[in-house]
Amino acid sequence: FRFKDSLAEELRSADLVISHAGAGSCLEALEKGKPLIVVINDKLMDNHQLELAKQLHRDGCVLYCNCSTLVETLQSMDLSALKPFPPGQPEKFASFLDKVFGLQ
């Protein structure tokens, strides 16, 4: 898709998601429990997509590649090795902020 307001329906029915490494796209797929292959745009300056993809890969949550290695990744992937993405804990962040600002 070039652009779509929401991918919720497509994500719900997907068996595998192949996405760029934008944080929102990655988190949306992972929060839905979908196996994810992240394709890095290695032409970006200060390649934050690569940093995110590498960290999510180290955590065992995604596979990543670039455009030239996507077919190889698809042929060799083992989706059963992927770990579920842990749910967010916004209450911990809120508690941290309360302590920092002396609200507790």
pLDDT tens digits, residue range 21-34? 889 899 999 999 99
In the structure, what pLDDT confidence band is assigned to residue 56 with cuts at 50, 70 and 90?
Answer: very high
pLDDT surpasses 90 at 53: yes
Share of the chain above pLDDT 70, in %: 97
Q: What is the dihedral of CA 91, 97, 101, 104, to 10 degrees?
A: 20
User: Domains in the chain, start-ordered, CATH in brackets?
Assistant: 7-101 (3.40.50.2000)
pLDDT tens digits, residue range 73-90? 999 999 999 999 988 788
Global model pTM greater than 0.75: yes
Give the Cβ contact number of residue 1 at 10 Å.
Answer: 5
